[in-house]
């Protein structure tokens, strides 16, 4: 159902396209096609100006990071401490959030656009070496990027004295090896240093200050960087004329699950609503088999769930946050009325429990415990107490109130994003989010399959080994 056989999953539509403009060409990944379609014009434009001006242009574009946190890229670049060198660029191509894929397509279909984006970022922010970290499981993307890098080196776009200028930078291709948590920027840096991908605590390890090899490091997502050639070429004003003031430009969104036409779409940022995306003709064209929408995950597997109540919200970070969830990495997963909610929650919880790096106790122990309890419940072996226990264990990962959507049916008000957490990164909380969403919005589905409370099983926590 894709528009192009060579880009499975991608649906072009009739909308402004910034990062997917070349997808219509089967050979979009080659240097020849790239140069023939305006490629490296952004780099040439950038090199003609002082680096600080290019940085300012990106700041003015309000380009938001596409990795999940949505932090403005131009501002991020400015966070490096003055006068400390070397500084590095690390490209986060470790896309693995459930429901999400766009970086993979951008790497497979337009690797030169990414390379050009990297070069512009390095030039603007004074970054002297770039490491392009691609998820290990993406063999085709690795192949396409490696080929593109070899072409670009040979053509003088990368390396010493790029295009005859003083600007010199290497881009080093690096593959991951299968660990979701490495998508977190400090874990990515650990992994790039040859270590276990365990996140570092921020503070003090803000990559911009203490990053790769302890040096200032900018970590940018593939999609973020892929926007830079266009911005450098057309200017910030042209960019901000698309989308809304707080969320300019376009962004890639993958909609999957029980819809008629799942796909990856480049949408205008900030204005498109979830209803447009799920029901619109140019998008997913409604729920499969004429079924009803039951719930959807609006921002990748870590996001609290939405109900049909939230369909008319635009795909915009602040509004979605206020409504109790997050946009995350641009991934919507749709569940229709046939969905078994406890099983769906279990699927996600299992994912995050499996992907725990093991560093923080609440995630390492709590994630697996949540999974075990939920398994018991799904298999019909649970009790009422188990449902409370799920919330209790979750409370040890995310203390205090949890964000959730409003429900007209349940008479629930929304609790806005974010949550508090006892862990360093979001993997631990993400194991609890689906449990909390499912239990809050669909408790009856759980209650119908658990037995009443048994007499409580409580075990003393330590055996006393002598006089104390």
Partner 1 sequence: MSETTENVDTVEITVNGRAVMARKGEMVIAATDRAGEHIPRFCYHPRMSPVGMCRQCLVEIDTGRGPMLQPSCMVPVAPGMVVDTESPTTKRAQEGILELLLANHPLDCPVCDKGGECPLQDQAFSHGPGESRYVEEKRHYEKPIDISALVKLDRERCILCDRCTRFADEVAGDALIHFVERGNATQVMTYPDEPFSSHFSGNTVQICPVGALTATPYRFKARPWDLEQADSTCTTCSVGCRTSVHSSRDRVLRFQGVDDDNVNWGWLCDRGRFNFESIHAESRLADPLIRTAEGLVATDWSSAMSITADLVRSALERSGPSSIAILGGARGTNEDAWAWAALADALGVTRRDAQLDDGLPVGVLGFERATIEDAARAATVVLLGPDLKEELPILHLRLRHAAVEGRTRILEFSPTGSGLTKHAWRSVRTPVGAAAATVAATLADAEVAAQLGSGPVVIVAGRHDLASSGDQVMAAVQAVLRAVPTATVLPALRRGNVVGALNAGCRPDGAGNDARSILVDAAEGRIEVLFLLGADPLADVPDADLARRALQGARRVVSLDGHGCASTMVAADVVLPAAVMAEKSGTTTNLEGRVSTVSHKVTVHGTARPDWMVAVELALALGHDLGVGSLEDITGRLASGGAALGAIWAPSIAVGEPVTVESVAPSGYDYRLVVSRVLYDGAVSTSNSASLAPLTAGPGVSMHPLDMERLGVVDGDVVTVTAGRGGVELPVCADDRLDRGVVWVPFGQGGGDPRELISGGAVTDVSIARVS
Partner 2 sequence: MARFNETNLATAHEIIARYPRPKSALIPLLHLAQEQDGYVTDEAMRQIADLVGVTPAEVIGTGSFYEMFRFEPTGRYLINICGTMSCALLGASDLLHAAERTLGIHAGGTTADGMFTLHQAECQAACTEAPCLQVNYRYRFRMTPDGVEQLIDDLRAGRLDDEIPPHGTLARVRQHIPADRGVGAVDPDAVDGPPAWIPVTVEGAGS
Exactly one of 211, 243, 367, 403 binds partner 1 (CB under 8 A); that residue is 367
Distance CA 199, CA 217 (A): 15
Residue holding tokens 């040890």? 396
Closer to partner 1 by Cβ: residue 283 or 419: 419
Measured in Å, how far apart are the chain's first and last C-alpha atoms? 71
**Partner from partner 1, partner 2, none binding residue 167, C-beta < 5-8 Å depending on class:** partner 2
- Where helices occur in 126-199 by DSSP H, the ranges are 139-154, 185-192
Exactly one of 280, 366, 382, 429 binds partner 1 (CB under 8 A); that residue is 366
| Contacts with 368 (C-beta within 8 Å, 6 or more apart), sequence order | 353, 356
Distance CA 366, CA 328 (A): 23
Closer to partner 2 by Cβ: residue 108 or 385: 108
**289 is a site residue for partner 2 (CB under 8 A):** no
Closer to partner 1 by Cβ: residue 308 or 395: 395
**395 is a site residue for partner 1 (CB under 8 A):** yes
Least distance from C-beta 93 to partner 1, angstroms? 21
Distance CA 31, CA 10 (A): 21
Closer to partner 1 by Cβ: residue 22 or 436: 436
| DSSP state, residue 97 | S
Distance CA 213, CA 284 (A): 45
DSSP symbols for 225-293: HHTHHHHHHH-HHHHHTSB-SSSBSEEEEEEEESBSS-EEEEEETTT-BHHHHHH-TTTT-SBGGGPPE
Closer to partner 1 by Cβ: residue 5 or 463: 463
The residue range among 124-132, 304-312, 389-397, 422-430 that interacts with partner 2, by the rule CB under 8 A, is: 124-132
Exactly one of 17, 174, 364, 449 binds partner 1 (CB under 8 A); that residue is 364
Between β-strands 331-336 and 250-257, what pairing exists: parallel, antiparallel or unpaired? parallel
**191 is a site residue for partner 2 (CB under 8 A):** yes
**194 is a site residue for partner 1 (CB under 8 A):** no
Distance CA 191, CA 17 (A): 33
**Partner from partner 2, partner 1, none binding residue 203, C-beta < 5-8 Å depending on class:** partner 1
**Partner from partner 2, partner 1, none binding residue 301, C-beta < 5-8 Å depending on class:** partner 2
**353 is a site residue for partner 1 (CB under 8 A):** yes
**Partner from partner 2, partner 1, none binding residue 395, C-beta < 5-8 Å depending on class:** partner 1
Interface residues toward partner 1, by CB under 8 A: 179, 196, 201, 203-204, 353-362, 364-369, 372, 389, 392-393, 395-397, 399-400, 420-424, 457-468
């Amino acid at each position: 159902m894709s528009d192009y056989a060579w880009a499975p999953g991608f649906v072009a539509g009739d909308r402004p396209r910034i990062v997917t403009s070349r997808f219509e060409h089967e050979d979009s990944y080659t240097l020849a096609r790239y140069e023939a379609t305006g490629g490296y014009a952004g780099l040439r434009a950038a090199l003609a100006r002082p680096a600080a001006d290019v940085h300012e242009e990106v700041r003015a574009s309000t380009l938001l990071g596409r990795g999940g946190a949505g932090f403005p890229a131009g501002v991020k670049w400015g966070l490096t401490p003055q006068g400390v060198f070397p500084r590095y660029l690390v490209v986060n191509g470790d896309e693995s959030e459930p429901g999400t894929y766009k970086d993979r397509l951008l790497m497979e279909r337009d690797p030169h656009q990414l390379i050009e984006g990297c070069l512009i970022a390095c030039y603007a922010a004074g970054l002297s070496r770039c490491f392009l970290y691609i998820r290990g499981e993406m063999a085709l993307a690795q192949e396409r990027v490696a080929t593109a890098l070899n072409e670009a080196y040979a053509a003088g776009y990368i390396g010493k004295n790029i295009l005859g200028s003083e600007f010199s930078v290497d881009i080093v291709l690096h593959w991951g090896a299968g660990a979701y948590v490495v998508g977190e920027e400090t874990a990515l840096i650990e992994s790039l240093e040859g270590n276990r991908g365990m996140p570092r605590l921020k503070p003090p390890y803000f990559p911009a200050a203490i990053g790769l090899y302890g040096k200032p490091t900018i970590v940018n997502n593939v999609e973020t960087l892929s926007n830079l050639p266009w911005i450098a070429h057309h200017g910030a004003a042209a960019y901000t004329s698309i989308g809304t003031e707080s969320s300019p430009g376009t962004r890639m969104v993958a909609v999957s699950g029980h819809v008629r036409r799942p796909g990856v779409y480049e949408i205008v940022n900030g204005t498109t609503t979830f209803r447009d995306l799920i029901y619109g003709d140019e998008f997913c064209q409604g729920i499969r088999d004429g079924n009803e929408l039951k719930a959807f995950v609006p921002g990748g597997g870590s996001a609290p769930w939405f109900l049909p109540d939230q369909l008319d919200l635009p795909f915009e970070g602040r509004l979605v946050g206020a409504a109790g969830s997050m946009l995350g990495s641009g991934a919507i997963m749709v569940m229709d009325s046939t969905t078994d909610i406890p099983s769906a929650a279990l699927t996600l919880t299992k994912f995050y429990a499996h992907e725990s790096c093991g560093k923080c106790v609440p995630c390492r122990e709590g994630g697996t415990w949540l999974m075990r309890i939920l398994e018991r419940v799904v298999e019909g072996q649970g009790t009422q107490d188990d449902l409370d226990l799920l919330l209790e264990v979750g409370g040890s990962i995310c203390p205090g109130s949890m964000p959730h959507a409003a429900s007209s049916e349940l008479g629930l008000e929304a609790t806005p994003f974010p949550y508090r957490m006892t862990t360093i990164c979001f993997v631990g909380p993400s194991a609890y989010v689906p449990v909390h969403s499912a239990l809050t919005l669909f408790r009856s589905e759980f209650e119908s399959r658990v037995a009443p409370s048994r007499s409580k099983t409580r075990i003393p926590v330590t055996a006393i080994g002598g006089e104390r």
